[in-house]
Amino acid sequence: MQGCDASVLLDDTATSKGEKNAAPNRNSLDGFQVVDAIKSRLEDACPGVVSCADILAIVARDAVVQVQGPSWDVKLGRRDSLRANTSAANTMLPGAFESLATIITKFAAVGLSEDDVASLSGAHTIGRARCSFVAPRLYNFNGTGLPDPTLSTSYSDLLRAFCGPPSTALTSEAPANLDVTTPDVFDNKYFKNLKFSKGLLASDQELLSTPGAATIRLVNAFASNQKAFFAAFARSMVKMGDISPLLAPNGQIRRNCRFVNA
CB-based contacts of 21, cutoff 8 Å, min separation 6:
12, 86
- Alpha-carbon distance 135 to 177, whole Å? 14
| 230-254 pLDDT per residue, tens | 999 999 999 999 998 899 999 999 9
| 91-128 pLDDT per residue, tens | 999 988 899 999 999 999 999 999 999 999 999 999 99
- Alpha-carbon distance 127 to 213, whole Å? 25
Does the pLDDT of residue 27 top 80, yes or no? Answer: no
CA distances from 246 to 30, 62, 79, 162 (A): 23, 22, 5, 42
- Alpha-carbon distance 113 to 187, whole Å? 22
Does the pLDDT of residue 52 top 60, yes or no? Answer: yes
Q: What is the pLDDT of residue 3?
A: 65
- Alpha-carbon distance 180 to 200, whole Å? 8
Q: What is the mean pLDDT of the chain?
A: 94
Q: Which residue has the higher pLDDT, 29 or 105?
A: 105
3-state secondary structure of 193: helix
